[in-house]
Amino acid sequence: MSFEIPDGLTDLLQDFTVAVLKERPPDLVKFAAEYFNKLNDKKSDDQNERSRGVRFAESEPMQTDESDDEPMIEPPPRQFARRKSVSAERYDPEADEEEGDQKIVHPKSDEQRKRLSEAVKPIFLFRSLEPEQMHCVLDAMFEKKVTPGEHVIDQGDDGDNFYVIDSGTYDIFVDNKQVGKYDSSGSFGELALMYNMPRAATIVATSEGSIWAMDRLTFRRIVLKNAYEKRKVYESLLENVPMLKTLEPYERMNIADALFSKTYEDNSVIIKQGDSADCMYFIEDGEARVTVKNMKEPDSDEMEVMRCKKGMYFGELALLTHKPRAATVYAVGKTRLAVLDVQAFERLLGPCMDIMKRSIDSYEEQLVSVFGSKAAISDLR
Ligand code: 1OR
């Protein structure tokens, strides 16, 4: 007797087995009943969404229903993803056994090398690499051309590559909702490789384009350790900055990638009033004293206007206003600061601009209360 195995049965049972291994339910039959019921509900939801119009397909160009004003709906998630991560534990660099020193080299033309070195310039995850490490990273990357509608990554899949954008535009979807987009630069796909988790988002090309891919092993061997440590170090600092609470945790991670620490001795100058500005600071440890003097009277005394403690930030004003530094800031005791440069500030703090702009009012009030009148201070805006 021969049996025909229906399409999808193997994947269906495999997914179920993975769920059992992950959850370890005490009552297997009850768990199975709930699991398949949920799956059935999800299937109907997906079908309903699909029938409402917008649909992407992996190899087809994106089709949109012009008459439909509803927000875009993400490509229906693939019903039974072929591979699923079983382990969702966080990465432990000390216990990493995947290392090995296999060097991967994808030959490139001069033109490709030139494009690649431009594309990696703004990638914060690569910033702390030594020149030799950077060399290995560039060698290991390979180019992938994409077409509109192509899924570069599907949420829920296992992570294979990390990607750096060379050209093109890409939409980001999480749980069927568009949550952002990339335009001609940036990188994605590090999360699954870093934390051994399924892909957290779906990335769909919305134009012709080109991306540089790096395999999982090279990413873990060279890029991961530094990047992982950095995210861990700055995670709690950034979580406790009230202004950044409105951001998604993932957005705070991107800020962590861009930060670097700098230590100042007691009473040393961190910022000088009147200087031009190229970064802002978060206090990791210690304290900062903010003083202002009347620039129209160079011999006048500096007046203390504010103290910044751990978790507070300063130096953002001049980046917002594109004016010289409005105050001098000194370290009080040995003080460690996390520095964010102006390019990262502009790229990553967009959602916080309004909050920061609002604080200009309170700076002005403070200055007026110290100097007695607005005339003595230069215009902050
Ligand atoms: P990955 O390996 O999980 C999908 O594969 C990639 O999309 C992911 O790594 C990130 O590099 C990227 N939340 C999670 N992943 C995101 C997000 C994101 N944006 C880009 N990726 N959010 C959007 C924040 C503006 C949070 C949504 C709640």
pLDDT in tens, 286-333: 999 999 988 777 788 898 989 999 999 999 999 999 999 999 999 999
* CB-ligand 1 contact for 172 (6 Å cutoff): yes
The finding on whether 271 has its CB within 6 A of some atom of ligand 1 is no
The stretch 144-162 carries a mean pLDDT of 97
**Ligand 1 closest atom vs CA 249:** 26
- Measured over the CA atoms of residue 363, residue 369, residue 371 and residue 377, the dihedral's sign is positive
CB of 153 closer than 6 angstroms to any ligand 1 atom: yes
Ligand 1 atom with minimal separation from the 162 CA: 2
Pocket test residue of 153, 177, 250, 257 for ligand 1, highest count of atoms within 8 A of CB: 250
Contact present, 211 and 146 (Cβ < 8 Å): yes
- The closest residue, in CA terms, to atom 13 on ligand 1 is 250
Question: What was the pLDDT predicted at 380?
Answer: 64
**The two three-digit tokens of residue 221, written as one number:** 């061997």
Q: Which residue has the tokens 């005791």?
A: 333
Cα 209 to the chain's mean position, in Å? 21
Q: Whose CA is nearest to atom 7 of ligand 1?
A: 201
pLDDT digits (tens, 9 = 90+) for 176-233: 999 999 999 999 999 999 999 999 999 999 999 999 999 999 999 999 988 988 999 9
Cβ contacts of residue 170 below 8 Å, gap of 6+?
A: 152, 181, 182, 188, 203, 204, 205, 206, 209
Q: Tell me if 251 CB under 6 Å of ligand 1.
A: yes
Q: pLDDT (tens digit, 9 = 90+) per residue, 315-328?
A: 999 999 999 999 99
Residue 377: band (very low, low, confident or very high) from pLDDT cuts 50, 70, 90 = low
> What angle, 0 to 180 degrees and rounded to 10, lies between the N-to-C axes of helices 9-23 and 28-51?
130
Contacts of 39 (CB under 8 A, 6+ apart): none
The whole-angstrom separation of Cα 381 and Cα 366 is: 15
Burial class (CB in 10 A: 0-12, 13-18, 19+), 81: middle
CA torsion, ordered 273, 346, 262, 245, to nearest 10 deg:
110
CA–centroid distance, 157 to ligand 1, in Å, is 13
Whole-number Å distance between alpha carbons of 352 and 255: 12
- Atom of ligand 1 lying closest to residue 202 CA: 4
- Quick check: CB of 191 below 6 Å from ligand 1? yes
Residue written as tokens 């004293």?
289
**Encoded tokens for 122:** 């703004």
pLDDT tens readout for residues 245-301: 889 999 999 999 999 999 999 999 999 999 999 999 999 999 999 999 887 777 888
Complete DSSP assignment for 26-77: S-HHHHHHHHHHHHHHHHHHHHHHHHTS-B--SSSPPB--TT--SPP-PPPP
- Is the minimum distance from the CB of 192 to ligand 1 under 6 angstroms? yes
Signed CA dihedral, 301, 304, 310, 311: sign only? negative
- How far apart are the CA of 249 and the centre of ligand 1, in A? 10
Q: What is the mean pLDDT of the chain?
A: 83
From the CA of 201, give the closest atom in ligand 1.
4
Instruction: Compute the distance from residue 177 Cα to the ligand 1 centre, in Å.
Output: 12
Beta bridge partners of 169: 183
Nearest CA to ligand 1 atom 9: 189
CB 260 within 8 A of CB 339: yes
User: How do residues 16-26 score in pLDDT, each as one tens digit?
Assistant: 887 887 778 88
Q: What's the confidence (pLDDT) of residue 31?
A: 87
Q: What is the DSSP string of 329-351?
A: EEEEEEEEEEEEEHHHHHHH-GG
Residue 54 near residue 65, CB atoms below 8 Å: yes
Nearest-Å Rg of the Cα atoms of the chain is 26
Amino acid at 306: M
275 Cα to the center of ligand 1, angstroms: 37
**Residue 110 pLDDT class (50, 70, 90 cuts):** very high
Q: What angle do CA 84, 89, 94 make, to 5 degrees?
A: 125
